[in-house]
């Protein structure tokens, strides 16, 4: 018997405030035309002053529980992927646990930046498959606006805030690709590339939160190559070709990176879930936000095979093959 981690419900939370490219023209020397052409981003959501990462995580998790028809007491543990926690400790995950009255199983954050949701899914899948837990909430939540330098046009136009969540349950599978649930996950990191995308502050260095610093072109170059590698790895590990993939659900950093990966994979653009135009890059939240949108609007249906992929600071990157 094989245990599979099956998605029971999805949820998301986007802050009310929309910031358009036109709004950014009033803040830095940029233009709607440059941002759309280079990134595909038209607008992003920005959290209200008092609205924290945990607030968004809790709301997205509540919606995922509702979609699954479950209550907090039905859940064994919480994993939150985030790089923008409310406090250095305790974790965002324990706030979600307390707010939703989830029982006293594990609750912790995973910090792998834009690849964080794939990392969190992998940890959750391991806990479910080894019998440590039966149902887990996995959340990606970020308040990227709080680590942006609003005078740096090369970064502040790229990011947004939000959260997305999934409820996973351990169910019996047959060990086949036709099973519902997480089929496989693939994680990588290369710390030698940590200086091309980082935050210039932290608890043990500057005692400040710091701001995002990025060599965009270098990250772009690695992103196109490494994401193509990891999706190829996921397919060959499972002995499938691109024709078997129903949906590509990529990290939403840049439409040109997403199109590059889709081209290499030979996946049509109408098989790619895209939110980058409206959300910008929400780091660990971008994949669960995209997934929830496509599940709710009926594109992703039970039985569909999805390939999730992401790359972020570290560099960290990964992919997950999941049958919804």
Q: Which residues bind ligand UT7 (CB under 6 A)?
A: 30, 34, 38-39, 114, 153-154, 157, 216-217, 219-220, 223, 253-254, 257, 281, 311-312
Candidate list 156, 251, 254, 279, residue with the active-site label: 251
251 belongs to the catalytic site: yes
List phi, psi (to 5°) of 258. -65, -45
The Cα-based distances of 13 to 27, 223, 246, 293 in angstroms read: 26, 27, 25, 11
Give the residue from 293, 211, 214, 217 showing the smallest Cα distance to 252.
293
With residue 7 as reference, give the H or E element that holds it. Answer: strand 2-13
Give the residue from 158, 214, 136, 166 showing the smallest Cα distance to 40.
158
13 belongs to the catalytic site: no
Q: How far apart are CA 67 and CA 80, in angstroms?
A: 18
Collapsing DSSP to helix, strand or coil, 115 comes out as helix
Smallest gap from residue 188 Cβ to ligand UT7 (A)? 14
Smallest gap from residue 163 Cβ to ligand UT7 (A)? 16
Smallest gap from residue 159 Cβ to ligand UT7 (A)? 8
Give the residue from 166, 196, 201 showing the smallest Cα distance to 322.
166
* Beta carbon nearer to ligand UT7, 113 or 265: 113
Number of other residues whose CB lies within 10 A of the CB of residue 257 = 23
CB contact at 8 A, 135 and 75: yes
* Beta carbon nearer to ligand UT7, 114 or 265: 114
Smallest gap from residue 293 Cβ to ligand UT7 (A)? 18
Residue nearest to ligand UT7 (CB): 216
* Beta carbon nearer to ligand UT7, 7 or 156: 156
CB contact at 8 A, 278 and 79: no
DSSP track, 179-205: SSEEEEEEEEE-GGGGGGEEES--TTT
* CA dihedral of 220, 221, 224, 230, whole degrees rounded to 10: -110
Smallest gap from residue 146 Cβ to ligand UT7 (A)? 16
Candidate list 114, 186, 254, 279, residue with the active-site label: 114
* Beta carbon nearer to ligand UT7, 217 or 302: 217
45 CB-side CA count, 13 A: 25
Smallest gap from residue 193 Cβ to ligand UT7 (A)? 11
* Beta carbon nearer to ligand UT7, 146 or 154: 154
* Beta carbon nearer to ligand UT7, 61 or 311: 311
Candidate list 21, 63, 254, 281, residue with the active-site label: 281
Catalytic residue list: 114, 251, 281
């Amino acid at each position: 018997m094989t245990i599979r981690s099956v998605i029971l419900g999805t949820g998301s939370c986007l802050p009310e405030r929309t910031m358009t490219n036109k709004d950014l023209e009033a803040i830095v020397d940029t233009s709607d035309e440059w941002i759309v052409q280079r990134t595909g981003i038209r607008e992003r959501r920005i959290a209200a002053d008092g609205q924290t990462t945990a607030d968004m995580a809790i709301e997205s998790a509540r919606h995922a529980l509702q979609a699954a028809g479950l209550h907090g007491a039905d859940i064994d543990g919480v994993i939150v992927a985030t790089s923008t926690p409310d406090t250095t400790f305790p974790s965002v995950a324990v706030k979600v646990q307390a707010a939703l009255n989830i029982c006293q199983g594990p609750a912790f954050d995973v910090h792998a930046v834009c690849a964080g949701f794939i990392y969190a899914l992998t940890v959750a899948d391991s806990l479910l498959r080894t019998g440590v837990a039966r149902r887990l909430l996995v959340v990606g939540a970020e308040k990227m606006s709080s680590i942006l330098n609003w005078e740096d046009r090369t970064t502040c136009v790229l990011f947004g805030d939000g959260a997305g969540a999934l409820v996973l349950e351990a169910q019996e599978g047959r060990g086949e690709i036709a099973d519902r649930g997480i089929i496989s996950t693939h994680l990588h990191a290369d710390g030698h590339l940590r200086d091309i995308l980082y935050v210039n502050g932290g608890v043990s260095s500057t005692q400040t939160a710091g701001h995002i610093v990025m060599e965009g072109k270098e990250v772009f170059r690695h992103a196109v190559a490494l994401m193509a590698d990891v999706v190829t790895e996921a397919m060959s590990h499972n002995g499938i070709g691109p024709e078997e993939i129903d949906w590509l659900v990529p990290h939403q950093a840049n439409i040109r990176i997403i199109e590059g990966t889709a081209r290499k994979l030979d996946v049509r653009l109408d098989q790619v879930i895209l939110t980058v135009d409206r959300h910008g890059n929400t780091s660990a939240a971008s994949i669960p936000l995209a997934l929830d949108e496509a599940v709710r609007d009926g594109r992703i249906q039970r039985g569909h095979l999805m390939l999730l992929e992401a790359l972020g600071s570290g560099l960290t990157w990964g992919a997950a093959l999941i049958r919804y």
